């Protein structure tokens, strides 16, 4: 087990080696996206669940609202936008361990299938579904979301929560979703994108972008315009879109706030001392054989990701929640 984790960590980080040609590495990541994403989630899932729970995504947050409440509300928002009803056949693209799938399933009573190509995450998700007694309307399908093993026009609605950023091609993933969606049906998503304030000629911006990509298993981050053009190219009618990461009077707490170091019980682990303490602890566990070899390297790239996400949010060059609602035309 230890050698397997170490080999996966070495292979994964090698795809982001800053000493090598970045264009070539990006093309390699896109060509091997299934391996990239599987290695990432094999390594990162336990860390995610420990720090984040079963819903691996961000959310806009009201003043006085707990993080868990904001995440559930963010999921309910998608269900309402999609007009989900009991009995509808729905696909959750890139479902993780099933947190959103279960919440939306309970909220809407629709029949939801979680699509995931990572066997470890599916096994975790199946246990959660059984534990919560949701087998009647929540299940899983192991498959590559670029090649969904279902006939054309299968689903009444489809959603994706911070998942299609792992695709090697926006046109490719949106076209496949378009194919399996029924005519007239809706697709909604929260997409990870670089905002219009991102400057590709700015070295500091590119460092932030790279840290997010390596820390979150992404082939390459795209821009708003790339995503919107890809939706149109796939054949969708765009109903609405908006960056929900914008801080305002209604949502005054930044989405990245849970990742900001703070001198509180929950925030201590993100301070310099907290991160060093955790890092040394993981290192010690690895050395004495309790944690497998490769755990420390995994923790390192997750810390880099957190730093990149916070800086990207603070400088408003990155958003994890570019929301869009689109429709497949009737003809």
d(CA 270, CA 307): 10
User: Chunked in runs of 10, what are the mean pLDDT values of the chain (331 residues)?
Assistant: 49 59 64 57 64 81 89 96 98 95 96 94 94 96 96 98 94 98 98 97 95 85 97 98 91 87 43 45 46 51 80 96 98 80
Q: State the pLDDT at residue 34.
A: 63
HEC string of 30-78 equals: HHCHHHHHHHHHHHHHHHHHHHHCCCCCCCCECCCCCHHHHHHHHHHHH
Radius of gyration of the chain (CA): 19
The residue among 181, 157, 167 whose CA lies nearest residue 235 is 181
Per residue in 283-322, pLDDT tens?
A: 444 455 544 454 545 556 667 778 899 999 999 999 999 9
| Residues 157/85, Cβ–Cβ less than 8 Å | no
Question: How many CB atoms within 10 Å of residue 56?
Answer: 24
Q: Residue 160: helix, strand or coil by DSSP?
A: strand
| Residues 147/124, Cβ–Cβ less than 8 Å | no
- Bridge partners, 319 (sequence order): 193
d(CA 331, CA 183): 7
> Maximum Cα–Cα distance for the chain, whole Å?
62
For the chain, list the domains and their CATH numbers.
67-250+317-327 (3.40.50.150)
d(CA 329, CA 238): 10
Q: Is the pTM of this model over 0.75?
A: yes
| Residues 195/204, Cβ–Cβ less than 8 Å | no
Per residue in 36-85, pLDDT tens?
A: 555 555 656 666 676 667 887 999 988 888 888 999 999 999 999 999 99
Measured in degrees and rounded to the nearest 5, phi and psi for residue 38 equal: -65, -45
């Amino acid at each position: 087990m230890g050698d397997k984790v170490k080999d996966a960590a070495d292979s994964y980080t090698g795809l982001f080696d800053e000493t090598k040609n970045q264009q070539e590495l990006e093309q390699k990541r896109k060509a091997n996206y299934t391996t990239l994403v599987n290695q990432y989630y094999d390594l990162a899932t336990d860390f995610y669940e420990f720090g984040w729970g079963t819903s691996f995504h961000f959310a806009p947050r009201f003043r006085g609202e707990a993080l868990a409440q904001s995440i559930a509300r963010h999921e309910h928002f998608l269900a309402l936008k999609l007009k989900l009803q009991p009995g509808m056949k729905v696909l959750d693209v890139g479902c993780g361990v099933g947190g959103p799938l279960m919440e939306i399933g309970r909220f809407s009573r629709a029949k939801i299938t979680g699509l995931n190509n990572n066997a470890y995450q599916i096994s975790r998700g199946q246990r959660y579904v059984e534990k919560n007694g949701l087998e009647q309307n929540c299940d899983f399908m192991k498959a590559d979301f670029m090649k969904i093993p279902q006939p054309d026009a299968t689903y009444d609605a489809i959603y994706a929560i911070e998942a299609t950023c792992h695709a090697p091609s926006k046109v490719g993933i949106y076209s496949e979703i378009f194919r399996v969606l029924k005519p007239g049906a809706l697709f909604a998503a929260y997409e990870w994108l670089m905002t219009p304030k991102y400057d590709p000629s700015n070295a500091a911006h590119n460092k932030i972008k790279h840290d997010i990509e390596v820390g979150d298993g992404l082939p390459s981050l795209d821009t708003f315009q790339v995503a919107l053009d890809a939706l149109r190219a796939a054949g969708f009618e765009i109903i609405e879109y908006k960056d929900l990461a914008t801080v305002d009077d209604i949502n005054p707490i930044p989405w990245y706030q849970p990742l900001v170091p703070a001198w509180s019980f929950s925030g201590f682990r993100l301070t310099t001392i907290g991160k060093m303490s955790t890092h040394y602890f993981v290192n010690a566990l690895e050395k004495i054989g309790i944690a497998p070899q490769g755990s420390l390297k995994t923790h390192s790239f997750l810390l880099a990701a957190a730093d990149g996400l916070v800086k990207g949010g603070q400088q408003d060059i990155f958003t994890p929640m570019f929301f869009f609602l689109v429709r497949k035309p009737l003809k």
